[in-house]
């Protein structure tokens, strides 16, 4: 596959790109170029076109969206109640960003390494994630599976392989690791309303200081909460950010290829009718 093809596919399977296609009711030239390269089909609906590009991506180029969508379908939708389990993506933790996070009774980070990714920062990223979460998995394709097994510094890290058949197979189970939890990183992850709710729960009041000192004083108070208790409360705060009220409809109304998009799009999350209407329209040049 040419770099141009990879670049176009990466661009198409992003939330802003699909948001704009639905909102503007029009199709960028880059989308037409992509469908011409990925399929010989003509006069198709947008839904069929996206399915064809996704099929091509499965065979030729499994990018980060493909991995994330597979995790969401295979590990979240197929195994959990969406009204009780939440997912987050690109969550900033320390100097890293967690590709995919799933929170039920506990939080789990899934760090993705596609066949084109570098592994240079992997162990540093994992240590960042353990500052907030106790369970971490690395998700890789067949190219890196043996290398990952040999190069993980922490034995508590689990491994999933995205196989050639498209299945996620657990090659190594993740174990609980609370050794690296830090108050500072957990506090930095919280929004103002979230850390205030935790403080009110524990102290029944908030710090009475000026605005300049307020943030620092709140962090000081948070640091006096038992760190395991705090971790549980941080998980609850994060879970509330994206938890669906009607989880069953996502699987019923959105095709497999676009479920990651539908879950995380702020504009069209839960607006399944708009997504469905778009997917059934015929492409016009």
What is residue 251's predicted lDDT score, i.e. its pLDDT?
87
Give the domain extent around 152.
84-172
Residue at which a domain ends, from 172, 197, 227? 172
Please report the beta strands in the chain, taking only residues with DSSP state E, as ranges in sequence order.
Answer: 86-93, 96-103, 107-113, 135-140, 158-162, 168-172
The Cα diameter of the chain in Å comes to 67
CB 67 within 8 A of CB 139: yes
Q: How many domains does the chain have?
A: 3
pLDDT value at position 3? 62
Please give the backbone phi and psi of residue 221, each rounded to the nearest 5 degrees, phi first. Answer: -65, -40
Last residue of a domain, one of 148, 172, 196: 172
Kindly state whether residues 149 and 109 are assigned to the same domain: yes
Residue whose token pair is 């993740």: 174
Nearest to 187 by CA among 199, 177, 195: 195
- The pLDDT assigned to 60 comes to 86
Nearest to 182 by CA among 145, 129, 236, 143: 129
pLDDT lower than 70: segments of the chain: 1-5, 41-42, 247, 284-285
Find, among 249, 234, 247, 242, the residue nearest to 189 by Cα: 234
Distance spanning both ends of the chain, measured CA to CA: 25
Give the C-alpha separation, 155 to 205, whole Å: 41
The reported pLDDT for the residue numbered 37 is 77
| CA–CA gap between residue 69 and residue 78 (Å, rounded) | 12
pTM of the model: 0.93
Same domain assignment for residues 54 and 133:
no
């Amino acid at each position: 596959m040419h770099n141009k093809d990879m670049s176009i596919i990466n661009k198409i399977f992003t939330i802003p790109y699909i948001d704009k296609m639905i909102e503007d009711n029009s199709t960028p030239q880059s989308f037409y170029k992509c469908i011409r390269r990925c399929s010989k089909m003509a006069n198709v609906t947008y839904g069929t076109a996206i399915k064809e590009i996704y099929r091509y991506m499965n065979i030729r180029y499994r990018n980060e969206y493909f991995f994330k969508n597979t995790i969401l379908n295979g590990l979240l939708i197929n195994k959990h109640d969406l009204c009780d389990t939440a997912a987050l993506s690109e969550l900033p933790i320390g100097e890293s960003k967690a590709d995919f996070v799933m929170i039920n009774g506990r939080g789990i980070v899934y760090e993705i390494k596609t066949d084109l990714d570098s592994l240079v920062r992997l162990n540093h990223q994992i240590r960042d994630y353990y500052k907030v979460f106790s369970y971490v998995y690395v998700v890789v394709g067949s190219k890196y599976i043996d290398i990952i097994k040999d190069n993980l510094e922490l034995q508590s890290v689990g491994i999933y392989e995205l196989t050639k058949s498209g299945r996620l197979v657990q090659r190594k189970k993740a174990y609980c690791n609370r050794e690296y939890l830090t108050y500072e990183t957990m506090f930095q992850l919280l929004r103002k309303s979230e850390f205030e709710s935790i403080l009110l729960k524990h102290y029944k009041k908030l710090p009475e200081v000026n605005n300049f000192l307020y943030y620092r004083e709140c962090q000081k108070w948070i640091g006096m909460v038992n760190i395991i208790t705090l971790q549980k409360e941080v998980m609850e705060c994060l879970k509330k950010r994206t938890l669906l009220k009607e989880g069953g409809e996502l699987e019923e109304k959105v095709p497999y290829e676009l479920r990651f998009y539908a879950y995380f799009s702020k504009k069209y999350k839960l607006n399944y009718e708009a997504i469905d209407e778009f997917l059934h329209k015929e492409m016009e040049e």
